[in-house]
A and B are shown apart, each in its own frame.
Chain A
């Protein structure tokens, strides 16, 4: 069955530090992959997506993610974190239907 795993429940970084949020997927074929961000009291905002082609995808707010088929991973990265990046981050995958399968999320805390 299709699934998404986010191993880190909570991550704390200092402002200006680099960030990597992990995501692993399980699917028989190449899935379509997404990262969403949820700020407190807000809905889910799409940061970036991978459908095919270049395995390094750029998103909004300075985020990028790299699809690695050999590791079944789609990790989210940002070279320098800002305090406003504090939020919950969800990795999601989609197979051959439109149903999104979400991971459990990673809560990012940023210290000044």
Chain B
């Protein structure tokens, strides 16, 4: 069964460093998403992406964050200058369509630890 994959599974970085989290969505999906889950808190939407453009972003997704689809398979989330509060589990998701019958498939997540 096709699945969303994410690398690395765990990333440790120093505060102020740049990190890139990588995702390979399901191959025929066109819509891509990032969510995050701070330890003990709810899963929060960060951004949605379609046709090489951001469709929607939350207030969390500030100028420190960017997303990119550098090739036909990868979807990345970059955090330019990490802060302690960026420590969280980051989930990538993809879907085949948008709107009413949108069903998102999630990857296993990348745990980001900022020291």
Contacts and interface: CB of A to CB of B under 8 A. Distances in A.
A44 B106 contact: yes
Nearest to B47: A99
A32 B44 CA distance: 17
Please indicate which of the listed interface residues B31, B43, B45, B103 has the most CB atoms of chain A within 10 Å of its own CB. Answer: B43
B56 A99 contact: yes
B72 interface: no
Contact of B35 (A46, A97, A100): A100
24 contacts: A32-B100, A32-B102, A36-B106, A42-B108, A43-B91, A44-B106, A46-B106, A90-B42, A92-B43, A97-B48, A97-B56, A98-B31, A98-B33, A98-B48, A98-B95, A98-B98, A98-B99, A99-B48, A99-B56, A100-B35, A100-B45, A100-B104, A102-B43, A105-B42
Nearest to B106: A44
B107 interface: yes
Contact of B42 (A42, A97, A104): A104
Contacts of B41: 104
Interface of B: 4, 6, 31, 33, 35, 41-45, 48, 55-56, 58, 91, 93, 95, 98-109
A83 interface: no
Interface range for A = 20 to 34
Given A49-B103, A100-B45, A104-B41, A44 B91 contact: yes
Interface in A35-58: 36, 41-46, 49, 51
Interface of A: 32, 36, 41-46, 49, 51, 90, 92, 94, 97-105
Interface of A is mostly: strand
Please indicate which of the listed interface residues B41, B101, B104, B105 has the most CB atoms of chain A within 10 Å of its own CB. Answer: B104
Contacts of B35: 100
A103 B42 contact: yes
A44 B43 contact: yes
A90 B91 CA distance: 14
